[in-house]
């Protein structure tokens, strides 16, 4: 038996001020030191899950048979920090993240950590069955029409609406003026145009819009995956900087934390973060809702079938909230790349763009803090996926699915992800399968790249140094009419939230877009706007001159 009180350390003052914890006992079993060494590579699938890995702090509950060494080391840093109580639970889709491993769940009575929530605050899923519509009724022409209309109406990748969607201002007012309003910091951020123009946009990376069908009944569903867009990213980076500053003033060596900066829940800064994080969750919910309404309208127009909202599911997987953890214990549970799986709670666990998803029902297992995975999890970084997966292999894996198997999306190929069925098997004690959904139509964001000479490789994610330069490039290139020569430049600022956090960690310089390489079906009349913020004015001048010269040739 591991006694909870023996596995967390915190200052007496902080403990005295805590309002959200009572101590309890947690039953566990442990691995031998030899098994721990094995775990850096692979643990036998004959062993019962979760695997219990002792640390110098709280134990790790690993719901998986393998985990990359860097991710495991990252989890150990968390487990040996003052943040968690009881244990740290790690989902079978876990992989390296910024500050804290993606697929990690822990509870705390004292601290909150912005990077333990993640940069895409409130990112989540929505799934809606279409009443009376079945897979055999959807002809290929229907699927092509649905995909094209989705791409025309929902901006993806680094795109945004040039004019806000109807009702956007009302939504923002409602979520800002409720009983838990945002801080003055966030209210200032809301003045940025992208807050309104990004509501109802997808983003890139692993975000998607799909039409799927249930493998037994063949009923068609709509599904989507997206989050809080740039505003969530800005809030996460701001409070990570605040937390790091607080720790530095206390003499804590933040270098050893490697991005896992935390602050007391009861501090003003901690309360401010929780307020602004809650606002971003609501924004993410309404972002998904706006896209969902567009998708359902498209489905109605193409198929003349409406949604069955009584069986719709909407969940999120990057957040922190105070929960009842049994026996009257109130703890702040942080889920990063994990979804709540309380007893009877419906959930969504997606795989890759070619493998489909599961609708699930939670079992309420406290050994995972009532949680399950948020997906299959990457087994290759984006760089490795591009290097190791051929375009032909990618295309074959997407056979039969109406999608854009574009080379720039190859890092999202099914081969880059863990096996979803294996992931589901490893968490069978956490959640049960209700529906297996298979893909028919897929839409993802394109993120094209400029030649390397135009990228800054030393730019750090979250440095806070915004460089406004693209308006100059925009008016120099677009205004004279160069767009008529199949070239477009767009302006504003970078949205790193559209990329996977694990990839930002490995390759922290966001790439720019050269719109001359946009997909052939790119809608030149769409409201999409692509943006970046990490090049100097001098580099922008070079870019403009080079583009003009190349277009004249």
Beta bridge partners of 350: 357
Query: Would you call 541 helix, strand, or coil by DSSP?
Result: helix
The CA distance from 530 to 115, in Å, is: 26
- Residue 140 is among the residues annotated as catalytic for this protein: no
State how far Cα 384 lies from the chain centre: 20
Instruction: Quickly count: other Cβ atoms within 10 Å of residue 322's Cβ.
Output: 16
As a dihedral over the C-alpha atoms of residue 178, residue 180, residue 184, residue 186, rounded to 10 degrees, the angle is -90
Question: HSE (CB half, 13 Å, CA atoms) of 496?
Answer: 26
The CA distance from 386 to 382, in Å, is: 6
Annotate 251-270 with b (16+ C-beta within 10 A) or e (fewer). eeebeebebbbbbbbbbebb
The CA distance from 229 to 124, in Å, is: 12
State both tokens at 184.
């003055």
Instruction: Quickly count: other Cβ atoms within 10 Å of residue 326's Cβ.
Output: 12
The CA distance from 366 to 323, in Å, is: 12
Beta bridge partners of 107: 85, 333
Contacts 24+ apart (CB under 8 A), 426-429: 426/49, 426/63, 426/64, 426/65, 426/92, 427/49, 427/63, 427/91, 427/92, 427/368, 427/372, 427/373, 429/49, 429/63, 429/363, 429/365, 429/367
State both tokens at 70.
């860097």
The catalytic residue among 61, 207, 374, 435 is 374
The CA distance from 529 to 551, in Å, is: 21
Q: Nearest Cα to 514, choosing from 452, 472, 461?
A: 452
Active site residues: 374
């Amino acid at each position: 038996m591991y006694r909870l009180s023996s596995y967390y350390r915190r200052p007496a003052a902080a403990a005295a001020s805590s309002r959200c914890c009572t101590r309890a006992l947690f039953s566990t079993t442990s691995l031998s030191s030899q098994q721990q060494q094995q775990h850096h590579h692979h643990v036998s699938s004959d062993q019962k899950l979760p695997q219990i890995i002792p640390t110098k702090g709280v134990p790790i509950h690993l719901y998986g048979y393998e985990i990359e060494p860097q991710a495991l080391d990252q989890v150990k840093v968390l487990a040996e920090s003052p943040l968690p109580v009881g244990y740290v639970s790690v989902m079978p889709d876990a992989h390296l993240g910024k500050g804290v491993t993606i697929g990690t769940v822990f509870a705390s009575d004292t601290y909150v950590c912005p990077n333990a929530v993640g940069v895409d605050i409130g990112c989540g899923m929505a799934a809606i069955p279409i009443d009376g519509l079945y897979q055999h009724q959807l002809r290929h022409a229907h699927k092509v029409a649905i995909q094209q209309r989705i791409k025309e109406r929902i901006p993806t990748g680094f795109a945004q609406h040039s004019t806000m969607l109807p009702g956007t201002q009302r939504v923002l007012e409602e979520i800002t003026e409720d009983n838990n309003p945002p801080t003055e910091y966030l209210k200032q951020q809301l003045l940025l145009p992208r807050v309104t123009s990004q509501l109802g946009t997808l983003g890139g990376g692993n975000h998607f819009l799909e039409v799927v069908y249930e493998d037994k009944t063949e009923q068609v569903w709509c599904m989507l995956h997206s989050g809080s867009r740039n505003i969530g990213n800005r809030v996460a980076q701001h409070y990570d900087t605040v937390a790091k500053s607080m720790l530095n003033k206390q003499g804590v060596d933040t270098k050893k934390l490697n991005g896992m900066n935390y602050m007391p829940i009861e501090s003003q800064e901690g309360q401010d973060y929780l307020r602004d994080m809650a606002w971003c969750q609501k924004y993410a919910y309404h972002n998904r809702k706006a896209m969902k309404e567009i998708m359902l309208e498209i489905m109605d127009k193409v198929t003349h079938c409406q949604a069955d909202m009584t069986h719709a599911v909407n969940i999120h997987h990057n957040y922190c909230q105070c929960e009842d953890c049994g026996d009257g214990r109130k703890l702040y549970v942080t889920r990063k790349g994990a979804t709540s799986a309380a007893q009877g709670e419906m959930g969504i666990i997606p795989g890759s763009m070619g493998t489909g998803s599961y609708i699930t029902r939670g079992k309420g297992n406290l050994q995972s803090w009532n949680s399950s995975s948020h997906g299959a999890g990457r087994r290759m970084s984006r760089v490795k996926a591009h290097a190791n997966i051929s375009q032909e292999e990618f295309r074959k894996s997407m056979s039969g699915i109406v999608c854009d198997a574009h080379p720039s999306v190859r890092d999202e190929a099914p081969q880059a992800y863990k096996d979803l069925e294996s992931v589901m098997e490893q968490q069978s004690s956490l959640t049960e399968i209700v529906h297996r959904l298979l893909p028919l139509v897929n839409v993802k964001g394109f993120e094209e790249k400029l030649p390397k000479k135009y990228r800054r490789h030393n730019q750090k994610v979250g440095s806070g140094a915004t460089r406004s330069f693209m308006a100059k490039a925009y008016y120099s290139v677009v205004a004279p009419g160069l767009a008529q020569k199949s070239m477009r430049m767009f302006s504003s600022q970078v949205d790193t939230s559209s990329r996977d956090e694990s990839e930002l960690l490995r390759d922290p310089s966001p790439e720019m877009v050269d719109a001359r390489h946009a997909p052939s079906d790119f809608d030149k009349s769409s409201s999409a706007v692509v943006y970046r913020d990490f090049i100097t004015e001098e580099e922008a001048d070079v870019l403009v001159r080079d583009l003009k010269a190349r277009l004249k040739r």
